[in-house]
Structure 1
Amino acid sequence: MVEEFYTIEQVAELSNKSQKTVRRHIAANKLVASKSQNKYRILKSEYERWINSDDSNEELNRETFAKIDYQNNTYDDIVNWIDITDDWNKDGWSNVNYRNGYTFVDLFSGAGGLSCGLTMAGFTPVASVEIMEAAVETYKYNFIEQKGFNETVETRDIREEEVKQNLYDEIGERHVNLVVGGFPCQGFSMSGNRVITDERNSLYLEMKKIVEHLKPEYVVMENVEGLRSMMNGAIEKKIIEDYKKIGYDINVTILNSADYGVAQTRRRVIFIGNRVGGKNYHPQPFLDKEHYKTLGEEIERFMNLPNDKSINHIITKHSKEMEERIKAVPEGKSLYGNYSDAWKKSPWDKPSCTVKENHGGVNLHPKLPRVLTPRELAALQSFPDDFIFKGSKKWQLVQIGNAVPPLLGKAIGIAVKKALDIVME
């Protein structure tokens, strides 16, 4: 007799837990599941074992799980805020002749959101490291072919010692003032499984090795807000202590992209450190909720634009039935009630919800019966319209969702530039 299987949805209903929680337990191997045709199946006997054991209790498994209600969380951060508005109108992306005299290396660069922001702030890119082939193609096209920067960009795995050595050889005698890295955050993400043992959670150590070798004056690390709560703050503390051991004093706080002109609510934890006795400045927010840039302001220019693959404006075709369903979704609500952060229709007159990497199923157009195009999503991330993404539509969406918003990167870059101006006098 074939034993009965449950789906994730059924397990969630039976256990009175969310589907996200069930997936987290599967990722942690607390609940054993098999996968068939991209869907998980859980044996009835395995479900009964799990629900009747300590494995189903996250409070008893704190070494594996980390949870937080971040809306109610406060941090006693020591932050050195600095006004960046005097440099805000300078743009080293549209005017590549504007350089501030400082160089940077971008690790885990993705398509180049943070790099784009730093070049806006006047920094000159020297090299980048990224493992995703499509993202490297995007980076090369925009920074080398279109903007003419003389930097080394290759598809490579930062964990390999040969890759690190090649990076050092390619940089050669050039001095690097800043190393930045949005080390992979899937293991830390509040929307992901957030399993402590996820091997991606230690990739910041690979970045630390490179920082220790290159010895830049400053270092910037970016990650999701959920990192701060892992193991009751022990992960964040370890990162700070590890950098202290190699001579870098770190200040950390959370920045919201909307505070810097991005038409999107996107909170990220930003570590800034230096080894030269300087200040670690974070950019002072210069917008408040009353003056945030709205989704409508950012994407209205694309409303009547026909499908154009050359600029990533790839319009998804929906069935008539799906179009009617999308039309019926109220602003601020989701097409699917159980997935509040997916297929969501953000209000036209407010900043967008966070643009995520899930192949386009997150953001519905508030006025048209379709999902947003890659070009529209890139605009909500604050990418310039001349920044073109390579690869298939699927990989364009992955790159866009994973990126640091360039305007947030610009704000951070201006703050670091001001700090460097002081210590380099």
Structure 2
Amino acid sequence: MAVKEQLLRIEDVALELNVSQKIIRKHIHSGALKSTKTVGVHYLNPKDVKAFVKSNVLAKTPKKPVKNIRTKSVKTDDVNWVNIAGSWENPSKTELTSADLFCGAGGMAKGFEMAGFTQVGGLDWFKEAGMTYRENFNHPHILGDITEKEVKDKFIETVQSSLKGKPLTVLSGGFPCQGFSMSGSRIVEDERNSLYKDMLEIIDALQPEFIVAENVKGLRSMLKGKVEDKIKEDIAKLGYNVNVTVLNAANYYVPQKRERIIFVANRIGKKNYHPKPLLTPKNYVTTKQAIQDLVKHKDDANFNHVRTKHSDDMKNRLAKVEEGKSLYDNYSDSWKKCPWNEASCTIKENHGGVNIHPIEPRVITVREMARLQSFPDNFIFKGAKGKQMMQIGNAVPPLLAKAIALAVRETLAV
């Protein structure tokens, strides 16, 4: 059963009450201000905020006005949570179809395949990722630059040919968004955002029933939330109603705490659903559960499990790094040691800096990375080892994609 929530975020309340977000967090932690925490984000009911104001607790706290805020953030998540637990195990095969832009190695495609969808096409420019994609899937893959008309046309024609006159159910994509900036009160886009515009053009051409767009959580704060608003507006202009929230992959059996913003939109008059978490932090799949058996597994290039050879000095340095900490102070997002008895920290490949193994003095292998991203063991990665790690670090965890796909199926079942 879906539950609709219209709640405020901490930044919204801070702006409304003209205090810092730090003060709001302080009163949440003290219990004076009620909140609901979902996938790591606090949400507040407007009624609870009013009760908090009436309690006069805030009057006793020195106010620190929020500076340099031009406009009030009006962003509140309008989320329709749906329970997918009943369909999680062995989903039936359907005639529903999906295609993927910026597909990389195929994490999103694999997840939709696990959820019973038939994938009809993928597009990406990354050569080695394309090699991996074609190794693991039978459907068409277009290798090329989406900004080139012939590449874009080829993808559209390939998908339409595979559909044989039927509508495309879902078009997904993890689009880049670094090219947004401000000119006065107006959002502008530079040439780096041509990829985003090309995605909109393909949506308009293929007219999928649903759009699933994924991005890093940090998009929410870009230009004080205006980028998120513009993306929703642009999709709505194409005839879609849009819902968006942040999902944590660990809530869907991925042994990794990885938060991503997920846009779900449809043009067929249905309610957009996001998958209700299947797990809580108390029962997340841990790093140990995911990769412990690989400690005794011999190096095997065909299995993508080859240990990096470190010098004795590097081994000593890696062994001394605490769980959750990084080898280098200046690179906190790379060379970070995964916790052993918790879900892993976010898996990345950052200019050669990958995650450190929790109990061995080395970085994790490609297969260990793949396990922590929830790729099955029969999913084989191609290219040089460094390129394989880039593919995995950039991928959407298949089990997160599966959860999203099952939520789309629930939408169509209503």
Q: TM-score higher than 0.5 here?
A: yes
The question of whether the paired residues in 1 share the 8 Å contact of 2:115 and 2:402 is answered with: yes
Counterparts in 2 of 1:283 and 1:303: CA distance versus 1, 3 Å? same
1:142 is matched with which residue: 136, 140, 145? 136
In structure 2, the partner of 1:256 is 248
Local SS of the residue matching 1:361: coil
Partner amino acid, structure 1, of 2:87? D
The question of whether the paired residues in 2 share the 8 Å contact of 1:157 and 1:163 is answered with: yes
Local SS of the residue matching 1:203: helix
Partner amino acid, structure 2, of 1:207? M
Partner amino acid, structure 1, of 2:375? F
Local SS of the residue matching 2:375: coil
2:353 is matched with which residue: 349, 352, 361? 361
Q: Does 1:421 align with 2:413?
A: yes
* Alpha-carbon distance between aligned partners in 2 of 1:357 and 1:183, rounded to the nearest angstrom: 18
In structure 1, the partner of 2:228 is 236
Q: Does 1:126 align with 2:120?
A: yes
In structure 1, the partner of 2:89 is 89
Q: What is the root-mean-square deviation in Å for CA atoms of aligned residues?
A: 2.2
Partner amino acid, structure 1, of 2:140? T
Normalising by structure 1, report the TM-score. Answer: 0.75
> How far off is 1:249 after superposition?
0.7
In structure 2, the partner of 1:107 is 101
Counterparts in 2 of 1:300 and 1:391: CA distance versus 1, 3 Å? same
> How far off is 1:201 after superposition?
3.7
Q: Does 1:167 align with 2:155?
A: yes
Consecutive unaligned residues of structure 2, counting only runs of 5 or more, are 1-66, 181-187
Partner amino acid, structure 2, of 1:167? F
Counting only pairs closer than 5 Å after superposition, residues 278-317 of structure 1 correspond to structure 2 as 278-317=270-309
Superposed CA offset, 1:207-259 (max 9, x none)? 11111111111110000111111111111111111111110110000000011
> How far off is 1:99 after superposition?
1.6
In structure 1, the partner of 2:9 is none
Q: Does 1:398 align with 2:373?
A: no
Consecutive unaligned residues of structure 1, counting only runs of 5 or more, are 1-58, 64-72, 92-97, 145-150, 189-195
In structure 2, the partner of 1:157 is 145
Superposed CA offset, 1:99-148 (max 9, x none)? 2220011011000001100000000000111110111110011012xxxx
The question of whether the paired residues in 2 share the 8 Å contact of 1:260 and 1:411 is answered with: yes
Counting only pairs closer than 5 Å after superposition, residues 208-219 of structure 1 correspond to structure 2 as 208-219=200-211
Partner amino acid, structure 2, of 1:331? E
Partner amino acid, structure 2, of 1:169? E
Local SS of the residue matching 1:279: coil
Superposed CA offset, 1:376-415 (max 9, x none)? 0011000001100100001001100000000000000000
1:339 is matched with which residue: 306, 331, 338? 331
The question of whether the paired residues in 2 share the 8 Å contact of 1:104 and 1:126 is answered with: yes
Normalising by structure 2, report the TM-score. Answer: 0.77
* Alpha-carbon distance between aligned partners in 2 of 1:391 and 1:199, rounded to the nearest angstrom: 30
* Alpha-carbon distance between aligned partners in 1 of 2:258 and 2:194, rounded to the nearest angstrom: 23
> How far off is 1:298 after superposition?
0.5
Partner amino acid, structure 1, of 2:152? K
> How far off is 1:339 after superposition?
2.4
Counterparts in 2 of 1:360 and 1:75: CA distance versus 1, 3 Å? farther
> How far off is 1:184 after superposition?
3.0
The question of whether the paired residues in 1 share the 8 Å contact of 2:334 and 2:349 is answered with: no
In structure 1, the partner of 2:215 is 223
In structure 1, the partner of 2:370 is 378
In structure 2, the partner of 1:274 is 266
* Alpha-carbon distance between aligned partners in 2 of 1:375 and 1:342, rounded to the nearest angstrom: 18
> How far off is 1:420 after superposition?
2.1
Counting only pairs closer than 5 Å after superposition, residues 34-73 of structure 1 correspond to structure 2 as none
The question of whether the paired residues in 2 share the 8 Å contact of 1:99 and 1:123 is answered with: yes
The question of whether the paired residues in 2 share the 8 Å contact of 1:185 and 1:224 is answered with: no
* Alpha-carbon distance between aligned partners in 2 of 1:239 and 1:197, rounded to the nearest angstrom: 12
Local SS of the residue matching 1:79: strand
The question of whether the paired residues in 2 share the 8 Å contact of 1:181 and 1:222 is answered with: yes
The question of whether the paired residues in 1 share the 8 Å contact of 2:142 and 2:151 is answered with: no
The question of whether the paired residues in 2 share the 8 Å contact of 1:225 and 1:267 is answered with: yes
Superposed CA offset, 1:318-353 (max 9, x none)? 011111111122222222233222211121001111
The question of whether the paired residues in 2 share the 8 Å contact of 1:359 and 1:397 is answered with: no
The question of whether the paired residues in 1 share the 8 Å contact of 2:75 and 2:225 is answered with: no
Superposed CA offset, 1:10-57 (max 9, x none)? xxxxxxxxxxxxxxxxxxxxxxxxxxxxxxxxxxxxxxxxxxxxxxxx
* Alpha-carbon distance between aligned partners in 1 of 2:234 and 2:336, rounded to the nearest angstrom: 39
The question of whether the paired residues in 1 share the 8 Å contact of 2:101 and 2:172 is answered with: yes
Local SS of the residue matching 2:296: coil
The question of whether the paired residues in 1 share the 8 Å contact of 2:326 and 2:333 is answered with: yes
In structure 1, the partner of 2:76 is 76
Partner amino acid, structure 1, of 2:332? S
* Alpha-carbon distance between aligned partners in 1 of 2:178 and 2:374, rounded to the nearest angstrom: 22
Counterparts in 2 of 1:74 and 1:402: CA distance versus 1, 3 Å? farther
In structure 1, the partner of 2:19 is none
* Alpha-carbon distance between aligned partners in 2 of 1:357 and 1:345, rounded to the nearest angstrom: 13
